[in-house]
Amino acid sequence: MARKMLVPMFRNHVAQHSAVQSSLSTRTQSYHTDSSKFQLQLIDDSNTVIEQTDYAIRVPQSSVATVIFVNWSKLDIKKLNTNHLEHLPEVFKYAPPAKRTRGEPLSLYACLDAFLREEPLVPEEMWYCPRCKEQRQASKKLDLWRLPEVLVIHLKRFSFSRSTKHKLETFVNFPIHDLDLTNYIANKIPQRQTYELYAVSNHYGSMASGHYTAYIKLLDENRWYNFDDSHVSAINEEEVKSGAAYVLFYRRVGEADGAASNGTQSCVKRSRRSSQR
């Protein structure tokens, strides 16, 4: 079973030789196969290729499932004959996310687009159909139907995997004024849905430990303040945006509230008693 080949149906079987780099530690073997075939190789826990054998390989009962990933090149996809695809079962089509350079900022609108984008469920998370009584491949999607007066956006700053966990320091460029969510509402309404930032919760540190601060705008003063434990200091609006932003607090503003951003209305009341503490 280690010699089984997957042969894609190409429009023209022209051999396209490509060098495939692998990090697997193989025993000195050279496999000469037709480049139009996908070779399946069995590896053990140490990432070593199991030599071809005519004997059956016992799989422990503890093994839950066997997953096979095939990485299709763009050239192979162009040559693929899709006339027979209606006879094949549905498969999960992986679409890798667009790569960004390390210094490239990420906008809040891009985060919202990704959050609301339809995504297919992986085979391990297939949907159970109550009508046909079996697991079916499906996709999921989130929609916004009604927005609140106060909008709280929680940025993902912590990443977990089976073996690692780390803090995400990606800079997210979020608007301070005129966050327009009109086009993000599934239930279309004529009024514009705009928000203004009035507070930011920041996190500094790592997964194990860290420190929280807050930037809060006193609208009656039209001024931003930095709250760091018992220390309170005024800051410029440009300092509000940073890679430490963790939770964003927005309040809805209407067309008649255009003057709100210049301080005619107050969302956060300053307490001299609390600031003196």
Question: What pLDDT band is residue 53 in, cutting at 50, 70 and 90?
Answer: low
Residue 28 to residue 14: CA distance in whole angstroms? 28
DSSP state of 256: G
CATH 3.90.70.10 for the 150-276 domain, yes or no: yes
Query: Per-residue pLDDT tens for 114-171?
Result: 899 888 877 777 888 888 888 887 888 889 998 999 999 999 888 877 677 778 888 9
Closest CA to 146 of 109, 193, 196: 193
Beta strands in the chain (DSSP E): 5-6, 38-39, 106-107, 119-120, 127-129, 134-136, 139-140, 150-154, 158-160, 165-167, 172-173, 179-180, 194-205, 210-218, 223-228, 231-235, 245-253
Tell me how far apart the alpha carbons of residues 46 and 60 are, in angstroms, rounded to a whole number: 16
State pTM to two decimals. Answer: 0.55
Provide the percentage of residues in the chain whose pLDDT is more than 70.
53
- Strand boundaries in 169-253, DSSP class E: 172-173, 179-180, 194-205, 210-218, 223-228, 231-235, 245-253
Phi then psi for 13, rounded to 5 degrees?
Answer: -80, 70
Residue extents of the structural domains in the chain: 1-88, 150-276
**Cβ distance 171 to 102 under 8 Å?**
no
Q: Are strands 106-107 and 38-39 parallel, antiparallel or unpaired?
A: unpaired
The sign of the torsion formed by the CA atoms of 55, 1, 124, 131 equals: negative
User: Rounded to whole angstroms, what are the CA distances from 28 to 21, 25, 60?
Assistant: 15, 9, 27
The DSSP symbol for 124 reads G
For the chain, percent of residues with pLDDT exceeding 90:
30
pLDDT of residue 104: 59
